[in-house]
Amino acid sequence: MKAAPICAAHRSPWMTGELELFREQARRFVEKEVLPHDPRWQKQHHVDREIWDKAGRAGLLLPDVPEAYGGGGGNFAHTAVFTEELGLAGIWSFNNAVHLICAHYILNHGTEEQKRRFLPRLASGELVGAIAMTEPGAGSDLQAIRTRALRDGEDYVLNGSKIFITNGYLADLVVVVAKTDPSQRAKGISLLLVETRESPGFRAGHPLDKIGQHGQDTCELFFENVRVPAANLIGGGEGRGFFQLMADLPYERMLVAISSLAMIERALDLTVRYTRERMAFGKPLLEQQNSRFKLAEVRTTAAVGRSFLDQCVQRMMEGTLDAAAASMAKWWLSERACEAIDECLQLFGGYGYMAEFPIARMYTDARVLRIFAGANEIMKELIARTL
Ligand SMILES: Cc1cc2nc3c(=O)[nH]c(=O)nc-3n(C[C@H](O)[C@H](O)[C@H](O)COP(=O)(O)OP(=O)(O)OC[C@H]3O[C@@H](n4cnc5c(N)ncnc54)[C@H](O)[C@@H]3O)c2cc1C
């Protein structure tokens, strides 16, 4: 399924001719290299490793990282465009969001040596990135994590476990959130770069069995006396991790917001097509007043959401997007996506409940948007703090 034609008439104010070309390239890549393999990836619960190399060669993995570090040299709009194209195609197996997030911790907070050592390899796909914050006993309350990294000579010794880690099965480089001072909450947290292939004591579990996003390798990670060189402490100073996370979480939340809107647009497109064809009581479903009203509501949600999202993308590009606005975009659009997909699924009747229908898969794929990258209740807390 190509980009949603119903909403395609909208041109975001931040779009340029160069970005249109990038969108075309991204769309072709998704059609040729991703979509044909997606059903198989969903069955095996992870993508093929080669897709990362292919996306790296196509310059799609780190579009908003400077060329000096191997990236595409673009800005946040490039990332927004690729994220939209994956969302409009209904793809959740191959997704570079978490890979980008990992790279951005290095770009924004790493030492020059760390940037040169890791970013070009993340850009080419030689390394697959992940970010490991959540633990079995601590998700929303990040300051309560128990994974420890204690200094021993030139290394840190890492012990603990993480859960629900996207890209966990294939990851070569994991930004691990750990306590370098377990006696402290926020001030005891640091971010460490763990090279999984060179780390005895590291183990990734099998991809977890989720209700949706089946092609995405979401895993548990285990660290047992893993020695991490002190040179892999992001930024080089202990205790800065929580503040680094707070600075970069808006980026992650914007990616969820962009995916959410793309899903609303895709659901609308799929459902308009279906209800045009499906006959009931002698006329197409789209001519029944309820179908028209429901789809008019979804169309309105997409238009209103697009307007706010465009504003946020613009502010991301300018570096002025605050944490509260990113939280607003994340919670509002992810809630609207789940509602819109639910309403659309209803118009498919029994077919909407059949796994082979894309709308059914969207229903389960979308649900986690309200939970990950910070649960929506946490988003509202962050917004409420600004009142
Ligand atoms: C598919 C998937 C992929 C993920 N990928 C990653 C990843 O790559 N890296 C990573 O680190 N994590 C990842 N996560 C973890 C995700 O970020 C956490 O699940 C999320 O932050 C919630 O944490 P929790 O599951 O521990 O829920 P809890 O913290 O136990 O919270 C449960 C619920 O309680 C409510 N709640 C919690 N705190 C408050 C509060 N203060 N006020 C009001 N209500 C509250 C919310 O409704 C919340 O959903 C992923 C999760 C999933 C399901």
What is the position in ligand 1's atom list of the atom closest to the CA of 373?
17
Q: Quick one: tokens of 205?
A: 């579990």
Residues of the chain with CATH 1.20.140.10: 243-384
Fill in the amino acid letter for 314: Q
Q: Where in the chain is the domain with CATH 2.40.110.10?
A: 129-240
- Whether 166 lines ligand 1, by a CB cut-off of 6 Å, is yes
Residue 84 annotated among the catalytic residues of the structure: no
Q: For the chain of 387 residues, list the mean pLDDT of each consecutive stretch of 10.
A: 64 96 98 98 97 98 98 98 98 97 98 98 98 97 97 98 98 98 97 97 96 97 98 96 96 98 98 98 98 98 98 97 98 98 98 97 98 98 97
- What confidence tens digit (pLDDT) does each residue in 113-122 have? 999 999 999 9
Quick check: CB of 379 below 6 Å from ligand 1?
no
Residue 358 phi, psi (nearest 5): -55, -35
Q: What is the pLDDT of residues 31-77, one digit of tens each?
A: 999 999 999 999 999 999 999 999 999 999 999 999 999 999 999 99
**CA angle, 304 then 306 then 311, to 5°:** 105
The Cα 6–Cα 299 span in angstroms is: 9
Are 326 and 250 in contact by the 8 Å Cβ rule? The answer is: yes
Our answer on whether the CB atom of 95 is closer than 6 Å to any ligand 1 atom is: no
Q: Which ligand 1 atom minimizes the distance to the CA of 167?
A: 8
Nearest to 162 by CA among 226, 118, 104, 101: 226
pLDDT at 1: 44
243-384, what's its fold? Butyryl-CoA Dehydrogenase, subunit A; domain 3 (1.20.140)
Establish whether residue 375 lines the binding site of ligand 1, counting it when its CB lies within 6 angstroms of any ligand atom: yes
Which residues belong to CATH 1.10.540.10 in the chain? 5-124
Spot the catalytic one: 84, 135, 252, 265.
252
**Span from the CA of 326 to the centroid of ligand 1 (angstroms):** 17
Sign of CA pseudo-dihedral 280, 284, 287, 293: positive
CATH fold for domain 5-124: Butyryl-Coa Dehydrogenase, subunit A; domain 1 (1.10.540)
Tell me which CATH code domain 129-240 carries: 2.40.110.10
Distance from the alpha carbon of residue 375 to the mean position of ligand 1, in angstroms: 5
* Total-model pTM: 0.97
Half-sphere exposure of residue 234, counting CA atoms within 13 Å on the CB side?
A: 31
Residue 8 confidence (pLDDT)? 78
